[in-house]
Structure 1
């Protein structure tokens, strides 16, 4: 099998071979710090929209780009190598909840351009910054029935997911993304639709971007919501030849360790990413969560010292303070080494 030749983000694999890269932190909980009103979300353009728009965070790229820009620049100043676009829910399927499905393409282009401008502002020859186009799981699941009385019922199908993700891939690339990040995967069938759509866009466009795939283990069972173990998840998406595979979100770093260990063991031929949330909500904490920057950075430092990871960052509840602490903790440590048989061997 021939090695992948990327048309964007070409420097990223070499960086991951040499050191641990830092991903940014949460977007949604950072937006909450601004205490935005319904009017902030609407702006002038959507002042008369017939549905409530508050908490439609993806819309802020159009109505309050200053907020999104501020968050991106905060993470970059903290030392992030990779920032994610504010597009977790910017698919046509997710935006149907707000009757804004027709704006999905525009949302993705605008979000990617904001991240691109911020990344370019902070990039240096010594530390290039990368924009990861973020693909969320959508609020629908192709594998699980929404009706307990009808196991066969579904509220979305593979084709609808594929079409929605294809549109998102095209828009994120137009806006300037360097790589694609399919994240917070709770249903592997949804992720396979995203990966299929991304590959379709690669074929149609002639582009080839690095892809990172990140699942989420929802509880101590060690399984995704759709029932797969971490090992089964990897074998379900391995055909996509991702630059990195990992876990994010649902569990804090302390509970994520055995599943990162499992993934690192079964996927020796790719890079490993890990960006946990900041633990459980804790109103007595300064950050509102029980894993402070010091706690999270120490735990991820342990992961790095054990040789488990190549990309680390934060998910829900994490802040630029978390990212700064994580960077300082892991910077002196060696990135996880990997085998190259699968991704880099030449065809016979």
Structure 2
């Protein structure tokens, strides 16, 4: 079933945090290195995307936990799988391979799940190629004394994203998810890269999901856009969905999810953190609490896709899936409205 057909019928559930789950395995530097990178000249512990190559068993196991919890959409383990982000580990040359490997892990998990009685009854799940925000921005200067300076150019960002997109497509993803956007110009570079890749490649373009991040109570992205301005800035991509994730917990995100539901001409998504981090940087919101917030969003007709971001686990996703299962999805409007 095409994902748009599924979205017309019910609210779909996207998975939860990958990093939170990886932390539970208490992995060592050796786990991240594996045999292949045993003699690598830099420490690589913390490069979670590398595990798609060195410990694919763990990544597939995490994906399976989310599938059994009720996820309809799996995100690939590729949040930092660009040449720009991997430069921190001097692994820029692995970018394409990381994306193929991560997409393969997700696809393997889906194939395994669909062979189970539970998977056979469900019949369809989708793999979304996760395209993260980068550790360099196009709208903001890293030098407070030189506001016009940029650490990277639009062409460099677009080229890095295009390499990632090629790897995700070759790995067999069903969707492309540009997520955790705090700089809309980076997002526009990713959109440009998608269009450019498919124009050159000749394959049918995959549906695009876009998810921004409201960083604080101002209701703006880090680069200064209001939610409506952000939506207008990316709507030219004709996305399958536009939504919000990360930065805020569900309690803080609610007014922005409601606003987006009123202005978006496409489907809407929301996957908040498990509350706000505590003094130790950990997330304390229980699965029941997170699900309670998202149930209200669903009942209010705000969302088509829900799930979890930082701090969420398969338990969170199971509770979310359970509470939205019988709630009708937000109806996609024929024409966008303005506030």
Q: TM-score, normalised by structure 2?
A: 0.95
The equivalent of 2:308 in structure 1 is 314
- Give 2:198's match in structure 1, choosing from 202, 210, 227: 202
> What aligned pairs does 1:284-303 form with structure 2 within 5 A after superposition?
288-303=282-297
- Give 2:41's match in structure 1, choosing from 20, 25, 50: 50
The equivalent of 1:234 in structure 2 is 231
Are residues 125 and 77 of structure 1, via their aligned partners in 2, closer, same or farther at CA, if it must alter by over 3 Å? Answer: closer
Secondary structure of 1:87's aligned partner: coil
How far apart are the structure 1 equivalents of 2:113 and 2:124? 8
| 1:276 equivalenced with 2:272 (yes/no) | yes
Secondary structure of 1:93's aligned partner: helix
Alignment check: 8 A CA contact 1:144 1:154 kept: yes
How far apart are the structure 1 equivalents of 2:225 and 2:277? 27
> What aligned pairs does 1:327-338 form with structure 2 within 5 A after superposition?
327-338=321-332
- Give 1:184's match in structure 2, choosing from 174, 180, 184: 180
Secondary structure of 1:323's aligned partner: helix
The equivalent of 1:324 in structure 2 is 318
The equivalent of 2:142 in structure 1 is 146
Q: CA deviation at 1:67?
A: 1.0
- Give 1:95's match in structure 2, choosing from 81, 86, 96: 86
How far apart are the structure 1 equivalents of 2:262 and 2:80? 32
- After superposition, give the CA deviation of every residue in 1:95-117 in whole Å (9 maximum; x if it has no partner): 01100000000000000011011
> What aligned pairs does 1:1-348 form with structure 2 within 5 A after superposition?
11-123=2-114, 124=120, 126-205=122-201, 206-267=203-264, 269-282=265-278, 288-341=282-335
How far apart are the structure 2 equivalents of 1:42 and 1:225? 34
Q: CA deviation at 1:281?
A: 2.9
Secondary structure of 2:243's aligned partner: strand
Secondary structure of 1:89's aligned partner: coil
Counting matched residue pairs gives: 330
How far apart are the structure 2 equivalents of 1:32 and 1:319? 11
- After superposition, give the CA deviation of every residue in 1:163-182 in whole Å (9 maximum; x if it has no partner): 00101111101111000000
How far apart are the structure 2 equivalents of 1:77 and 1:169? 27
How far apart are the structure 2 equivalents of 1:114 and 1:33? 19
Alignment check: 8 A CA contact 1:26 1:318 kept: yes
Secondary structure of 2:179's aligned partner: strand
Any unmatched runs of 5+ in structure 1? 1-9, 343-348
Any unmatched runs of 5+ in structure 2? 115-119
- Which stretch has the larger CA shift, 149-158 or 275-284? 275-284
How far apart are the structure 2 equivalents of 1:338 and 1:77? 28
- After superposition, give the CA deviation of every residue in 1:52-78 in whole Å (9 maximum; x if it has no partner): 100000100111111101100000010
Secondary structure of 1:154's aligned partner: coil
Q: CA deviation at 1:264?
A: 1.0
How far apart are the structure 2 equivalents of 1:281 and 1:254? 13
- Which stretch has the larger CA shift, 322-331 or 257-266? 257-266
Q: CA deviation at 1:204?
A: 1.9
Q: CA deviation at 1:289?
A: 1.8
Secondary structure of 2:177's aligned partner: strand
Q: CA deviation at 1:265?
A: 1.1
How far apart are the structure 1 equivalents of 2:282 and 2:33? 27
How far apart are the structure 2 equivalents of 1:119 and 1:249? 25
